[in-house]
Amino acid sequence: MTAAMHDPPAGPLASGLSRGLLSVVRIGVAVMWIQNVAWKRPPDFGRADDNGLFFWAGQAVEFPVFPPYSAFVEVLFLPSIEVVGWIILLVEGGLGAFLLIGLATRFWAVVGLAQTLAITLSVLNAPHEWHWSYYLMFLAHLAIFATAAGRWFGLDGVLRPAWSRSSGRLARAMVRLS
């Protein structure tokens, strides 16, 4: 009886339905990044027409949220948007791709948190923005990280058994990143 009292209750993730719903969250967040990488348009990322990434990044200067970040955007980000834009494009494309298939999910959840923070610091005070959009983005990535959401209906779940048995450096790293 003592042992039974100390047995941990079956967690919600023991249910197939819960695991399926969690994969819906992961894939939904991936689709959000995929849809929004579409308007990061090289080569000038909107500088010529003051639209796209150039316009939205510029909101950090026009409506500052955190003055040091605004200074960074004004002095470094916007003048070199033809370079920084490619980095943003690759990061957001990678977020969409890797979260969609559930590979290295915890790593990409952390990248998503960082990118969400950058977006929040750019547009939180811009007109007509709903601040909870960005809080919810942050919380969704936190949930994906906390539940290691790629382990169900994702490639992390498929590949982790082999990674766990391997003594290779890459496999050990992938165990931690998934």
Partner 1 sequence: MNSEALVNGAALVNDDRARYDRAAIALGAGSLVSSIFVLGADAPTPIDFAHVGLGGAIVLAALGLVGILGGALHRGSLILVAGGGLTIAALVQLATLPLSPRPLGGDASMMALLGAFGIGLLAVGLARRSAASTPPGTTSILDRKADP
List residues near partner 1 by CB under 8 A: 30-31, 33-35, 37-38, 40-43, 89, 93-94, 96-98, 100-101, 103, 155, 158-159, 161-162, 165-167
Taking the complex as a whole, the smallest distance from the CB of residue 125 to partner 1 amounts, in Å, to 24
3-state secondary structure of 23: helix
For 8, the 3-state DSSP assignment is coil
Q: Which CB sits closer to partner 1, 8 or 130? A: 130
Output 15 or 166, the one with its CB closest to partner 1.
166
Rounded least distance, CB 10 to partner 1, Å: 24
Q: Which alpha helices (H) appear in the chain, and where do they start and end?
A: 2-6, 16-37, 52-62, 67-72, 81-101, 105-123, 131-146, 155-165, 169-177
Residue nearer to partner 1 on the CB measure, 2 or 167: 167
CB of 14 to partner 1, least distance (A): 20
Q: What are phi and psi of 136, to 5 degrees?
A: -70, -40
Contact 149, 98 (CB under 8 A): no
CB of 37 to partner 1, least distance (A): 5
Tokens of 114: 């960082």
Looking at the Cβ atoms of 16 and 42, the one nearer to partner 1 is 42
Using an 8 Å Cβ cutoff, are 27 and 99 in contact?
yes
